[in-house]
Chains A and B, each alone.
Chain A
């Protein structure tokens, strides 16, 4: 009995890390976009779903395999992001931040609605690539290889994103534009281009997470809506001011959710929201945030 519950705990911790990987990737993208564009991108979940769907459709109709989809789907969604930012989002930068949120909420409805209309609500499953099939016996537990891959890949992607932002010239431009875009313009830096690229990169990350999620979750039109609400709670807990904060909060709350599934399964999907409420009561600015 004792042995079984330990097994269950390990199993749920892995599930927690998997969920945490997606929370981290998504809140990272949200934080990057928000930092520069001051837009809370409501469409992030829908574009996550679009990434998964692109992979599914490319697989089904073009025979594109997982590894190519991992590159192509984010590019497709990023291109979509470029068009959206150029044609719509940028018209709102001079207005109150909430308009950007309303616009992206509208985009989320449109994307979800169109996919729902075309492919129905039930969705489909996406096979994991041959290379990552099967499982691995770690001695104390058995883990599907694909799940390990997701965790490792998510950590690597988060680390690379952090390095790009904190350690490169491009990252220096991004940080500078986040702080004071006006002055950056006087150095002849193309700030509007930087904004477009940032939005594209942020939603590309969401799509990448979507492709990674496709073999684990059912690929369905509402998969993004369900996760984005949790990710918003994650973002409130972590605060949007810090890149590393977004990453750590994502993984941490995923783990917490995993533990909750063992300890008190009925409340597992509420634990992050409860955490959010607690943080707001005792530390309104969020764990890594500045007071706003």
Chain B
């Protein structure tokens, strides 16, 4: 089984984001990690190949030079090699990202499955996997929590709110957007981390792909820090007095009860 996993290099969710200028941020001040949802994607791909006893997991990343660390992290989890499409900056439009992923994958081989995360935690776009699917004319389901493969069919489950679960079916090759619940991503061990450093990593410049960049794109105009709430007003007195006061404030002042 030939599996491609699309992985994004993103600032740590716990990192402080300092806005610089109109629409930039200080990316040298924060630690970067593999996009948390992409870990479920890598884990699932690696487990599939381990179970089958054959096949290959290829990590594909569209990202800046520094994204290599994220690709090595995915390789430490068990991916066999990587393809890095190099771009400047963090905010490449999702349509262009999907076209770059498509070109990189098609240059390399024929996928049976392409895994992605359900969304990237930096731009929170929820769409690259769908654009990739449309561009490659493949079926796609995202936010997948369970996957079974039988006779060239993928049977997947996703949650659609209120605890309701949908089971869907599609033919391979297909694209699967992974989310929490699909598996338990492994913590790579030291020897795996060392081994990952020697795995094959191919670099391609975005411009070398010869993509049509005249497609409709989104444009990031402005980035603003969201001010944190200030310290809470703490209730005083006995438990009953505190709760009474809280209920009074929520009812009379904030009118939310």
User: Do the two shown chains form a genuine complex with each other?
Assistant: no
Residues on B facing A (Cβ under 8 Å)? none
Residues on A facing B (Cβ under 8 Å)? none
